[in-house]
Amino acid sequence: MFDYKRFALGRIASFGTRYMPFADVASEAVPLSRLLRLALFQVTVGMALVLMVGTLNRVMIVELRVPASLVAVMLALPLVFAPFRALIGFRSDTFRSALGLRRLPYIWKGTMLQFGGFAIMPFALLVLSGYGEAVDAPRWIGLSAAALSFLLVGAGVHMVQTVGLALATDLVAEADQPRVVGLMYVMLLVGMIVSAFAYGALLETYTPGRLIQVIQGSAVLTVAINGIAMWKQEARNRSRATAPVQEFSFLDSWARLAGRTGMIRLLAVIGLGTAGFGMADVLLEPFGGQVLAMTVAQTTRLTVVLALGSLLGFGLASRWLGRGGRAMDAVCLGAVIGIPAFGLVLASALILSAPLLVAATLLAGFGAGLFGHGTLTATMRAAPREQIGLSLGAWGAVQATAAGLAIATGGVIRDLVLAAPAGGTTAASPYVPVFALEGGLLFLAVLVALPLRRGGLATAFGPARAGAADDTGTDCGLAAPGP
Amino acid sequence: MSNDPDKVWPTGLNLREAEEVHSYLIDGTRVFGVIALIAHLLVAVTTPWLG
């Protein structure tokens, strides 16, 4: 009699784990191609950011005629989830899984949330704008559906990015982390640039049908790209799966992380610096247009120059830190470069020189690149292996909140000065306080960061943590009993 | 073949692992179901079908 059971088992055994979504072993050296593939999740994050903040921002206001203030509130909704990034990171650190996975489930869940948000978003926006029969529908349906879709996408983005970065950190040796950070930032930029052009081309002739196609197409693309990104990336860890349950509350874990020398200070630097650099993101283009009378094509090029500067910054930081540089040096240098950059922006308004503004933008981008890379690398190096998720969650929470608040504050300050009776004396006057504030924030960031650079503390964020005094007691992290 | 009572034939997973894989399937189906329901409701509001 044909032993079908033996036959099937033989086939399955020869199948191996070739078609399984997890890696065979946690190999020591992860090839660059695999890291590149993992970094694809940043492409979908960039895609979601551009779609929401860039494309839909315009489509909702211009084509769908939704009030601008309502659009601003909707786009700000995902920020509500930013502080929860620390919690998500902590949960992925301590996730109990019989399969021995801890990052993949969260990336998958985040991807599903992102997909779900994009799947209902076009219809929610159409209802919100009163398209078709929706004119007669009660207002709350459109409002709550749109809010839900933005919340879902936002939560998904936060989840995917936090846990994806943690997985990337898990995968590589500490010496290679700067390379990974650079890769992640570059992929985020690439995703944003490519999708900005793609959305622009696809929505050139707007129809409601096209809007549905584009957003739902993004949903499918998100699942596909994230699926490719996480395939076979995380190895199953049997010891983790069978380890006895240890209950650690989030607060315990947080207290442990925050108790590490320089951690809170590092987070403060991240918040101040990100706010300083972030405020310019949305104001550089209107500044160029209104003050220096640049055309739309020229101001768009300004954004490209900013991205180019950031790329240079990431590249330099990757090489520098990869060769053993200290992360806090890059952070300080980035912030220090940013201060004169914003000074030059103001100077360009005084002498009405567009080339000077372009140079200042390049410099600001370069500083932001160095600063961003430095802070993320420092965060990775500052945390023990067991708390990488929590640490990167804290980085993301501070960074996303600071950037969001900065963009909002920058806009509010500009509008307030414009509205003030003496405000609109020159075209530049609404922007002067904003750029001055940015310089001030960066100055503060440098002040807070300097003690981290000086003395023995800096070794905590250097490549080799062996000599750091604070490592000996706490490196066992979660393995040690709670306080 | 596999006489380990804890192993679920023919996957080679043990019971806890199999249940976890199953939980992802169930959760995914639920989430996609709810999303599809909401999407259909919203489409029905803009362009009603079934009168």
pLDDT tens string A58-112? 888 888 888 888 888 888 888 888 889 999 999 888 887 877 788 888 999 999 9
Which are the contacts of A411, defined by CB distance < 8 A and separation ≥ 6? A282, A283
Q: Which residue of B has its CA nearest to A242?
A: B16
Task: Say if domain A249-465 classifies as CATH 1.20.1250.20.
Answer: yes
Label residue A476 by pLDDT band (50, 70, 90). very low
**Domain extent listing, chain A:** 32-236, 249-465
Place of tokens 């959305």: A199
What is the spatial distance between Cα B39 and Cα B36, in angstroms, rounded to a whole number? 5
A126 contact residues in B (CB cutoff 8 A): 42, 46
Three-class secondary structure of residue B13 per DSSP: strand
Three-class secondary structure assignment of A87-109:
HHHHHHHCCCCCCCCCCHHHHHH
Inter-chain CB proximity A9 and B10 less than 8 Å: yes
Average pLDDT, chain A: 83
Task: Choose which CATH entry (2.40.110.10, 1.20.1250.20, 3.40.50.300, 3.40.50.2300) describes domain A32-236.
Answer: 1.20.1250.20
Name the burial class of residue A33, with classes exposed (0-12), middle (13-18) and buried (19+) by CB atoms within 10 angstroms of its CB: exposed
Q: Which two tokens stand for residue A341?
A: 């950059």
Residue A155 contacts residue A81 (beta carbons within 8 Å):
yes
What is A339-398 written as a DSSP string? HHHHHHHHHHHHHT-HHHHHHHHHHHHHHHHHHHHHHHHHHHHHS-GGGHHHHHHHHHHH
- Across the range A420-443, mean pLDDT stands at 81
What is the spatial distance between Cα B50 and Cα B29, in angstroms, rounded to a whole number? 26
- Across the range A398-425, mean pLDDT stands at 81
Interface test with A, best of B22, B45, B47, B50 (most A CBs within 10 A): B45
What is the spatial distance between Cα A151 and Cα A158, in angstroms, rounded to a whole number? 10
Interface test with B, best of A14, A112, A144, A215 (most B CBs within 10 A): A112
B31 shares contact with chain A (CB less than 8 Å): yes
Whole-prediction pTM: 0.83
Interface of A with B (CB under 8 A): 5-6, 8-9, 12, 97-99, 105, 108-109, 112, 115-116, 119-120, 123-124, 126-127, 131-134, 137, 141, 145, 148, 241
Inter-chain CB proximity B42 and A126 less than 8 Å: yes
What is the spatial distance between Cα A315 and Cα A312, in angstroms, rounded to a whole number? 5
Residue A35 contacts residue A180 (beta carbons within 8 Å):
yes
Residue A199 contacts residue A47 (beta carbons within 8 Å):
no
Tell me if A32-236 shares its fold with A249-465: yes
pLDDT at A27: 52
Kindly report the CA angle at A141 between A138 and A146, in degrees rounded to 5?
140
B1 shares contact with chain A (CB less than 8 Å): yes
Inter-chain CB proximity A132 and B42 less than 8 Å: no
